[in-house]
Amino acid sequence: MFIFEFINSQLLKMDWLSNLVRIFVEDVFNLSISTKLGNSIHFFIYDVIKIFILLSILIFSISYIQSFFPPERTRRILGRFNGIKANILAALLGTVTPFCSCSSIPLFIGFTSAGLPIGVTFSFLISSPLVDLASVILLASIFNWQIAISYVVVGIILAVIGGGIISKMKLEKYVEPFVFNNPVHNNGEEDLSIKQRLEFSKNQVIDIINKVWLYILIGVGIGAAIHNYIPQSFISAVLGKENWYSVIIASFVGIPMYADIFGTLPIAEALVAKGVGLGTALAFMMSVTALSFPSMVMLSKVVKKKLLGLFIVIVTIGILIIGYLFNIFGYLLI
């Protein structure tokens, strides 16, 4: 138990880093972290450094594993399964792809054109931006392991159910015809040497960090502002646990945004600290990552309106249900 607590506090939550940043803020800026400005600076520096450290390590590790599973090999593996088993496997596959929804859409096209049922590829498309191994660690570093694991479980369930419904409805005719004419080719990743895999992993870290760094800075900045400058009374009035509509507001506020889970985590952290329900904060995260407007615009280029609308309805209803369930039972996880 002591070893687990040590790993959780020092390696995930990085208490040592928090202490170092506190000393830095007090000595360099001559500000106490008990003041709003000092605490905001501490929140921003600490969260930014912590997220980038964890993200780099996790993406490198996940990418190394991914190097053994190029798209064609992944398609062959998924092709061995049918029905709900295929949806579950696709959703689990999405958890090891650290991509935003826009990045997942090209893989969705590739899997569909390679002959996988669209319901299976939709399970992947829902799961990939919503849940990944990096988000598990980051959620645990901000909240705790119970919340992190619960979030992953409900995200996978949403992906499986959503893809399963689309599979049952036989909606292939609502996929744009060009999608079926873009086969996935094997790029030879299976034969990479260890050096090449390490190089691939390093490049993935650089590529993904280049894509998300701005969103992380913006997210942490918003989180710092919420944490220290927006009155708790105002946040409670709008998104308080007692407000039945808080989950709905949080879900629809997130849709126009474009970010990934790494940029939304600091905002969720600050909201929960201000008394917002856990389910409300998670609903916001899910809507930003799974239903962002730019992602829906991209998806509208590959599927027709009826299928796009059904996807949005299924995911929205799933997010709302998950948000309310976490608000009701979230106290068991804290």
C-alpha–C-alpha distance, residues 128 and 296, integer Å? 15
**pLDDT for res 158:** 93
Work out the number of other CB atoms within 10 angstroms of the CB of residue 43: 26
pLDDT at 159: 93
- Per-residue three-class SS string for the chain: CHHHHHHHHHHHCCHHHHHHHHHHHHHHCCCCCCCHHHHHHHHHHHHHHHHHHHHHHHHHHHHHHHCCCCHHHHHHHHHCCCHHHHHHHHHHHHCCCCCCHHHHHHHHHHHHHCCCCHHHHHHHHHHHHHCCHHHHHHHHHHCCHHHHHHHHHHHHHHHHHHHHHHHHCCCHHHECHHHHHCCCCCCCHHHCCHHHHHHHHHHHHHHHHHHHHHHHHHHHHHHHHHHHCCCHHHHHHHHECCCCCHHHHHHHHHCCCCCCHHHHHHHHHHHHHCCECHHHHHHHHHHHHHHCHHHHHHHHCCECHHHHHHHHHHHHHHHHHHHHHHHHHHHHHC
pLDDT score, position 190? 54
Residue 98: the pLDDT is: 54
> Which residues contact residue 316 at a Cβ distance below 8 angstroms, ignoring those fewer than 6 apart?
251, 287, 291
pLDDT given for residue 48 in this prediction: 92
What distance in Å separates the CA atoms of residue 85 and residue 92, rounded to the nearest whole number?
11
| C-beta separation of 232 from 301 below 8 A | no
List per-residue pLDDT tens for the chain, 334 residues long.
556 677 677 777 888 999 999 999 999 999 999 999 999 999 999 999 998 998 888 788 878 877 887 666 777 777 787 788 889 988 888 777 655 555 566 677 777 777 788 898 899 888 887 887 777 788 888 888 899 899 989 999 999 999 999 988 888 888 888 777 655 444 444 578 889 999 988 998 898 788 778 888 988 999 899 888 888 777 877 787 778 899 999 988 877 666 667 778 888 888 888 889 999 999 988 888 888 777 788 788 888 899 999 999 999 999 999 999 999 988 888 7
pLDDT value at residue 331: 81
Under 8 Å between Cβ of 28 and 44? no
Domain locations in the chain as residue ranges: 2-180+192-333
The amino acid that residue 3 corresponds to is I
Q: Which residues pair with 276 in a beta bridge?
A: 240
Q: What is the pTM of this model?
A: 0.79
CA angle, 100 then 72 then 179, to 5°:
65
pLDDT, position 319: 93
CA–CA separation, 253 vs 280, rounded Å?
Answer: 11
Cα–Cα dist 119/65, whole Å: 25
CA distance 325 to 320: 9
